[in-house]
Chains A and B, each alone.
Chain A
């Protein structure tokens, strides 16, 4: 079925929103991003399927990343009319007991439990009532939203990660997905979309921190076949936010690219993914096929004369291919050596045509901004950096994880409040931000207590 109007999209949203929040059987969600799998999530998933085969009153499903890496494998269990509970460190030897205990309303084994959910809605679902509003909470179990790890976070780019099955476009639509794209396509003029993105203050999350709206406007001014390219090369060691978004919510990136395509006037998109991310590629392939099936990619999208397709290309292990000119050379099947940028790639990029390159996280923010408006986004953050940024907390820190915080949150706040401090309560020495291109920041440095990142939009400082 090809979706031709917002009404048709709304029909799918309603049907799957009900299934998402009021499942007809007990729903067990196992975190299955590649790191969740490596931590034992897949073994637990398979064990659960074996013991609770289909039609037994329990459905076992996969989901992406909820960000608390430290306590993987993570499992969430939900049932209509009952609290949604997130369980931690659930390996294959425990999962069956955990499911049984949930079915029997037995929540005594508190060390299995990370917390209960107060409100599962995303920021795109304000019009819904909290599906858990009439559910009596479990006593003595903390709400996830109150724990320091989560209470300091605002999830925009990660809005669906860990809540939906990444292989289900319907669940993405259920959470308000593709409405922003339809609005951009049917209700806005291209220059209005660009203005909204400019006004929002969104800056590229890939390292350069350049204004996304200004970049789009510049690309749109140049003539020729224009391209939208997504940079999923994620080269900095220690950074895995782009992978988590692609593995946990691939449609958010596709929708961001679609909106950029409408704004800039492009019919061809490219995804450049590192070859170290095979699962991200697999989920993207599935997502693109589903979007094509619903007519969200392809010819005459939404009954208009707008057409757009997306091709996935993989890299082959060269850090430098994250750089724009090298990336485009690599997309052409050539050696990925950066060239001097006398002429910018927005004018002459891939195949010498105007090419707009944005990072995964940048694109994932776009649908939320179109839905909620420029002022909403610009209302968060600091003077020079608006919105939120996803960080990965790794190394010798207590709570390793993937967190999204408002721009201007201090490193101290991120490390101690969210991260729980240095491992084994040792003394803090230094933190490295932004990969090899970043720096090591000792405790004494101003940058440590100062809101980060100062003027760039990214975890990596300007190079």
Chain B
């Protein structure tokens, strides 16, 4: 097996990187093409929930793009995270239409429910809470997305029940 654990000095020491799988993503899905950098990073983030540093270094050599540029892209775009995220990502919409229908109240309720005071991820890594701008379901505002599921017309009182469904 080509599984390698990065040395413990790496910030995300607990992640095991499957380099065979990574090769497959880079070569087969994205043709080793540097123009596909953003989509490769998305695939890595989808797999590991964040962008583990060793994968970026590996990618840099593989598609021949300087590490500094990959790091730049990884920090410029809002969807990428260099820090590990929770198993479930809650995205609460803070767009205009959701805002006027009470999006902020829903966010407060989620923060209370999950004890997220001054942090984004729960200690047990079950949830990460993010604010996003419009996800295009404005008519159902306030809207929140948990992973790929969109929940519309949520009142603050529905929050707990929805979150129960995600382990």
Contacts and interface: CB of A to CB of B under 8 A. Distances in A.
Nearest to B94: A237
Interface string B79-105: 110000000000000011110110000
Contact of A276 (B72, B98, B132, B152): B132
Main secondary structure of the interface of A (DSSP, over half): loop
Given A237-B97, A333-B38, A243 B148 contact: no
Contacts of B78: 316-318
Contacts of B139: 35, 69-70, 72, 240, 392-394, 400-402
A316 B150 contact: no
Contact of B97 (A72, A317, A395): A395
A316 B76 CA distance: 9
A278 B39 CA distance: 13
Contact of A234 (B136, B141, B151): B136
Interface residues of B, number: 40
B143 interface: yes
Given A38-B150, A392-B139, A316 B42 contact: yes
Contacts of B42: 275, 314, 316
A277 B136 contact: yes
Contacts of B150: 34-35, 37-38
Contacts of A401: 139
Interface in B124-160: 132-141, 143, 148-153
Contacts of A318: 76-78
Given A239-B138, A394-B139, 11 more contacts: A34-B150, A39-B140, A236-B134, A238-B96, A314-B42, A317-B78, A335-B69, A335-B76, A336-B77, A394-B97, A395-B138
A278 B148 contact: yes
B15 interface: no
A395 B96 contact: yes
Contacts of A278: 148
A313 interface: yes
Given A315-B38, A318-B78, A333-B73, A243 B136 contact: yes
Contacts of B56: none
A402 B78 CA distance: 28
